[in-house]
Amino acid sequence: MSEKTPFPENVPGDFYVEDGCCLSCGMPMTEAPELFAYAPDGHCYVKRQPSSAKEMWQMIGALTVQDVDCIRYKGKNRVVQIRLIGVGEGDQCDHLPRDLKSLSDEVKADRSGLK
């Protein structure tokens, strides 16, 4: 995976919402209302990057409930990448190294009952 084009309202940082992807599902507001907001056209965006362990957990929670996989992680922190893989969201990482891509594929296969 490579970086997608972020919606312009996202604050700078590792988490972002992909431009033009949003269906205004509202789900991020259930998990991380202080980290997301909606533009006037209804497109959600990251208004603040997580700055504590609790907020990081909330952000990861938002990725787990999101519709249509618009929220992405472009950082290269392996701990965050492994956390996302663990909840089945490895595909949302733009820069997974090869070993973690393999792990992500295994976890996805496990979660979908293919193994």
x/- contact string, 80-109, with ligand SF4 (CB under 6 A)?
------------------------------
The one segment of 15-23, 49-57, 86-94, 105-113 that binds ligand SF4 by CB under 6 A:
15-23
List CB contacts of 75: < 8 A, sequence separation 6 or more. Answer: 14, 15, 81, 95
Q: Measure the CA–CA gap between 56 and 39, rounded to whole angstroms.
A: 22
22/107 with CB nearer ligand SF4: 22
> Does residue 37 contact residue 28 with C-beta atoms inside 8 Å?
no
Place of tokens 């956390």: 83
DSSP state of 111: H
- For ligand SF4, the binding residue among 22, 60, 84, 85 (CB under 6 A) is 22
- For ligand SF4, the binding residue among 10, 58, 66, 81 (CB under 6 A) is 66
